[in-house]
Amino acid sequence: MPSHNGMREISVSSSIQRRDLMRVGAGATLATLAQTSVRQAKAQDNKAQVLAGATGAFDDGTVRQIAKRLASAPYKGPDQSLPKAIENLNFDQYRGIAYREDRALWHSDNLAFDVEFFPRGFLYKPRIEIFEVNDGQSAAVPYSSDLFTYSDPALEVQQDLGFAGLRLRTAINTPGVMEEFCVFLGASYFRAVAKGQNYGLSARGFANGTGDPKGEEFALFRAFWLEKPQPNVKSVVIHALMDSPSVTGAFSFTIRPGDTTVFDVQSTFFPRTAIQQPGVAPLTGMFYFDANDHNHVDDWRPAAHDSEALQMWTGAGQQLFRPLRNPLDLQISAFNDVSPRGFGLMQRRRQFQDFEDLALNYEKRPSLWIEPIGDWGEGWVDLVEIPTPNEVNDNIVSFWRPKAPLAAGKEYSFTYRMYWGWDNPFPTSLARIGATRVGSVVDDKNARFFAIDFVGTPLEHLPLDTHLHLVPQASAGTIRNVVVEPNPNVKGWRTTFEFVPGDEKVAELRAVLATDSGPISEEWLYRWTP
């Protein structure tokens, strides 16, 4: 599987610039109020043009028709203007504006779900239109400032500001207790959890130019339609309109929370311009360090990450496991495939001792598996690993990249299922990688020591006389001193080897555990860099 290495360092920062809060007092001039009215009128005209057909009769094709019409016209972004009092909120001020639980949409309707909304401000300034669909009719969800409580009363603005996003709630952990399990907020980002989990990685509607030195375009979910569920129905349907200078999109999400939270996703894209680096079903998370990549991090914990590996099941049936890294330079890997069975960013470490973090609970963060529905043809599973100096930044991105660029004026549809949960949703008959550890070789500073644990039911029932061996490969450098031995502590086997890179600056390593009859494990992949 081909890969390439981009040596340009990308700086990714989510630091927040703090500004003094500015307010509009009672002494605002008539001229200021008049200018505000003009801006609001223009924004309303723009919204009316963009979202024509958003209210009234609604069916499964409504959002698709809006997206198709939008793609034929120049891009016009949503309103981002905010009153002076809230235009520069910092994190604490924004967090101090909270939705009233008793005002949630469907709160008093005795349904399995209700919906709360986020205020605009801080990093979330675009006005996102929200509609409710009931009996085939769509109507705007009305905004009012008294839907929220305010830690600082001065931040309450008597104006139709609209919303920034939404959160879904259900009784996912305790009967009768409504808890948040899914959020759509910021660009085309969304995230979810299964029962007993904490938030971790996110998904996006679309990726465009990820890892490109010229910069990435972030599309925006600018409107949502929430179908009111029937009583006793355990799923909820959300439609979303995506928009950006390069592409529009229509999404339908059928969401079923539980021990694994499942999204059935139907997406259709209408490029305004040719898109050379499209990313379908993008996943975004954080990898700071683990035992396989700890030498540049001085931290007291054994690991810190949302996800530990990219896992892939290819169309040919290969099961691949690629531990993540926090590299010193931007790294982009492309894994060629035809009609992939699935891929995902996975978190297999599930014990507190794996992280030792009482506050962040990385062991409770979801894995996210993408199952393509239908034939996605030829393309690549891309993995982008961006250097990060801390665990604040999302520095890992993975997605499906079709072989052919998306052409302007065409229509492209992708259907897939997302599994937010504790593991890959499909059982395997193969042994699995339980851990990857990398360190120095005591008597050779030019070599690296690798230890890979293989675990799983297939290894627990092997005949006592089974001969196991590791089959390692390296695209550059030399592998030596291969050892395979039982590891009763994990009811599996430990394999070790030394890797000598020589003068090489990058090498692709792979290994599989085998008997005399052939491989019995998923395939371990690894990109080595200094």
Q: Which domains does the chain have, with CATH numbers?
A: 56-421 (2.70.98.10), 432-528 (2.60.40.10)
Q: 46 pLDDT band (50/70/90 cuts)? A: low
Task: Note the pLDDT of residue 45.
Answer: 55
pLDDT, tens digit, 9 for 90 and up, residues 152-200: 999 999 999 999 999 999 999 999 999 999 999 999 999 999 999 999 9
Task: Note the pLDDT of residue 464.
Answer: 76
> Three-state DSSP class for 367?
strand
Task: Note the pLDDT of residue 302.
Answer: 97
Q: 456 pLDDT band (50/70/90 cuts)? A: very high
pLDDT, tens digit, 9 for 90 and up, residues 75-118: 999 999 999 999 999 999 999 999 999 999 999 999 999 999 99
Task: Note the pLDDT of residue 315.
Answer: 97
Provide φ and ψ at 36, rounded to 5°: -60, -40
Half-sphere exposure of 405 (CA within 13 A, CB side): 14
Task: Note the pLDDT of residue 48.
Answer: 59
Task: Note the pLDDT of residue 295.
Answer: 85
Burial 228-242 (b: 16+ CB within 10 A, else e): bbeeeeebbbbbbbb
pLDDT, tens digit, 9 for 90 and up, residues 47-75: 656 787 899 999 999 999 999 999 999 99
Give percent above pLDDT 70 in the chain: 91
Average pLDDT of every residue of the chain: 91
Provide φ and ψ at 155, rounded to 5°: -90, -5
Task: Note the pLDDT of residue 463.
Answer: 83
Question: Contact 227/238 with Cβ under 8 angstroms?
Answer: yes
**Strands, E, within 156-213: which ranges?**
163-170, 179-185, 189-192, 202-204, 206-208
CA distances to 89, 124, 142, 468, 491 from 162, in Å: 16, 12, 8, 62, 55
> Three-state DSSP class for 58?
coil
Judged by average pLDDT, the poorest of 27-31, 283-287, 481-485 is: 27-31
pTM of the model: 0.90
